[in-house]
Amino acid sequence: MCHRYNIRATSTEIASWFGAEIQKPFDPAQKTLFPLADVPVVLDTSEGRVVTVMSWGLVPFWWKPGKKTWKATARSCFNAKSETAHEKPSFRKAFKTQRCLIPATSFFEKDLDFQLKQSNYFAMAGLWDRCQIDGDEHLSCTILTTAPNSCVEKVHHRMPVILDDDDKIRQWLSPDIHDRQPLERLFEPIPGETMSTQAAES
């Protein structure tokens, strides 16, 4: 599963990449990101695309204080399987109406850093939700995963769902699509030959 990735970019650069306005800026000092970190997210709103910041690890709208803390919930929901997210209680509402982009410049598996050959950035398919924690609104997100391509399968059995062209991005963010079937093609892993790897920085 994807539990570490890089975004070596400012909010201004991210906004330029995806034709968005900055709603809440991302701290570019945070380059390598792990679950529970604040991460940049791109949303499609009634007023256009925006870049904002959310906590990585989805806490569903129905979460209440109890045996499982919000942080424990988030740690168990930082990834969602693209095959089943539409039917899982934690993700199914978000899948219908709260899909997002999670920008990245690379992601990690084992000791390898995976990048695209033809672009210095990409969008991972994400879901987001909001809940109340200690009386405050908490916004959080998760990254969808899929089967690995020929590049990733050498080290791991899953990889992020990467939306590598504008048509895929528009379809994923479309407010008119609520079911899984029209989105199924987006969950196919991108070709392994489009990616490169290098040793991850220690």
How many structural domains is the chain composed of? 1
Residue numbers of the domain that contains 97: 5-199
pLDDT band at 1 (very low <50, low <70, confident <90, very high): low
Contacts (Cβ under 8 Å, ≥6 apart) of 114: 106, 107, 108, 151, 152, 159, 195, 196, 197
Closest by CA to 63, choosing from 43, 31, 93, is: 93
Q: For the chain, what is the mean pLDDT? A: 94
pLDDT at 30 over 80: no
Task: List the single range of 67-71, 75-79, 162-166, 173-177 with lowest mean pLDDT.
Answer: 67-71
Supply the CATH number for residue 84's domain.
Answer: 3.90.1680.10
| Tens digits of residue pLDDT in 95-150 | 999 999 999 999 998 889 999 999 999 999 999 999 999 999 999 999 999 999 99
Reply yes or no on whether the pLDDT at 55 is more than 70: yes
Cβ neighbors of 78 (< 8 A, separation 6 or more) are: 1, 3, 35, 56, 57, 58, 142, 143
Question: What is the pLDDT averaged over residues 12-21?
Answer: 96
Beta strands 122-133 and 136-146, pairing class:
antiparallel
**Structure tokens given for 33:** 């990101």
Give this prediction's pTM. 0.96
